[in-house]
Amino acid sequence: MTISDVLERLNTMRRPRAQTAPLSLNRQLLRLAGPSLVENLLQTMLLVCDMIFVGQLGKDAIAGIGLGGQLTFFLQVAFMGLAVGNTALVARAIGAGDKREAERIAKQSLTLAVVLAVTIGVFTWFVAEDIVRVMGATEEVNAIASGFLRIVSLFAFVMGVMFIGGGTLRGAGDTFTPMLITGFINIINIIVAYTFIFGNFGFPRVGPLGSAVAMTVSRTVGAALILYVLFKRTKILPLAWRGGWGFHRDVIARILNIGLPGALEQVVFQAGFLVFAALAVSLGTANYAAQQVAFTVNNFSIMPAFAFGVAATTLVGQNLGAKDPERAERSAHAALKDGTLWMVVMGVAFVIWREPLVQLFTSDPDVWQPAQMCLMFIAISQPLLAVSMVLSSALRGAGDTRATLVVTFCGIWIMRVAFGYLLGIVLGLGLFGMWIAWTSDWVVRAALITLRFRTGRWKTLRV
């Protein structure tokens, strides 16, 4: 039995045999959010395993892979923007019952992703060292980060296919298949990382760059599986190999109308994130490593918000496509309620178990105390993260990406970066001052995104 057969059987098992009435809003929400939550948990466990492996090699390895990973996220912004536009438009088309248009949107998004991937990959390969050097880390950290960046950028096209393919399935209402694929490739990633980082099973010892090799191999397998599902297995939105390719100006214009602000939002976010990281680097490797450990643990806390955000994006888009804005609004509120409850629980867990969580990632006592401090800030900010992430996802599902761009800019650059520089560097409060600013960022974003959502303007946007 092949992997694709397993995927099909599992999808068949989860489909109800007979469904005489539409699913309730809560059941729809849970069927979308549940697999997304598991998928995000699997992704987070992957990052955790990689960080545990790399953490055995010392704080330079942690800092180098952390920096390389952040720069990789920054290079993903084009794919993220495309995925936002693709998912929102596919959801609208599915809600309106127009599968042919949904297929056309998906194919145009894949075409754009491949073109962008080639451009990004070639550019990054030649300037990786220059990009890393700007961050001001030590030579040891720079060498690891630039090597990581080069390896990942060489296969940027598989990253693009996974973003767009996964977004297409989610927009169509299938969050289960991306979860299964993520689970499978995570197993591959862990095995390959363990093999090459430490040189096990007779393979060469690559060191921290083994995590980049593992990431590339697993993403390649994941991209192949997603394409197979889209073109051979899915019954929700089956794609045909022929027709719909080339460049269709009308569809591309609609994708970019939503996707460009979405991509710019990610540029704003990732650039601010990198500057915030550079501030931590200036405080010493131990402080930066502590921040990286805290952010790795933080990936657990954002899982519920991400999962219910995915559900909000899909349901808001589909209900607006079906001309039912009131149900779209109820979907967003239900997602916010459930997401906040989960995140508060995570925050309490971080407070109780902050010490063993930190020590899981590093044996360096210089990193323990500042990392625990960062976890306390993360814990108390959980409701703010829930509001910002879920309602922002709902607005993206409606195509209101310009509003989320403005909100992200205000939070990241005014509060996190500028205020963080003032408190942490100018006033000398160090990492403590920077994380006061980190919390202030989420206060501002939660407030602004709530105000925008309550205006209801997103209900009448033309996409």
Residue 344 resides in a domain: yes
Average pLDDT over every residue of 232-242: 78
What tens digit of pLDDT does each residue of 350-401 get? 888 888 888 877 777 888 888 899 999 999 999 999 999 999 999 999 999 9
Q: If we measure between CA atoms, which residue out of 364, 418, 436, 385 comes closest to residue 56?
A: 364
Confidence of residue 3 (pLDDT cuts 50, 70, 90): low
- 316 falls in which pLDDT band (50, 70, 90)? very high
CA 385/CA 308 separation, integer angstroms: 12
Q: Within a 13 Å sphere around the CA of 436, how many CA atoms are in the beta-carbon half?
A: 14
Give the tens place of pLDDT for each residue, 397-454. 999 999 999 999 999 999 999 999 999 999 999 999 999 999 999 999 999 999 999 9
> Alpha-carbon dihedral of residues 132, 266, 34, 331, nearest 10 degrees?
170
pLDDT tens for each residue of 23-68 = 677 788 888 888 887 877 777 676 677 777 887 788 788 888 877 8
Whether residue 235 is predicted with pLDDT greater than 80 in this model: the reply is: no
Compute the distance between CA of residue 65 and CA of residue 212 in angstroms, rounded to an integer.
Answer: 9
Does 6 have pLDDT greater than 70? no
Residue at 150 is within a domain: yes
Compute, in degrees rounded to 10, the torsion defined by CA atoms 131, 134, 139, 144: -30
Q: ∠259-166-26 over CA atoms, to 5°?
A: 95
Question: Residue 58 in 3-state DSSP?
Answer: coil
Q: What would the pLDDT profile of 153-191 be if each residue is shown by its tens digit?
A: 888 889 889 989 998 998 888 888 888 898 898 889 889
DSSP character at residue 332: H
User: pLDDT band at residue 20, thresholds of 50, 70 and 90?
Assistant: very low
Give the predicted TM-score (pTM) of the model: 0.76
- 106 in Cβ contact with 90 (< 8 Å): yes
Average pLDDT over residues 188-212: 88
Q: Does residue 229 sit within a domain?
A: yes
Could you tell me if residue 1 is inside a domain?
no
Establish if 105 belongs to a structural domain: yes
The count of structural domains within the chain is 1
The residue type of 373 is M
If residue 250 lies in a helix (H) or strand (E), which one and from where to where?
helix 249-281
246 in any annotated domain:
yes
The string of pLDDT tens digits covering residues 110-126 is 999 988 888 888 888 88
- Residue 462 domain-assigned (yes or no): no
Domain residues for 361? 26-454
Look at residue 461 and tell me if it is in a domain: no
- 72-121 per-position pLDDT tens digit: 777 777 788 888 889 999 999 998 888 889 889 999 999 999 888 888 88
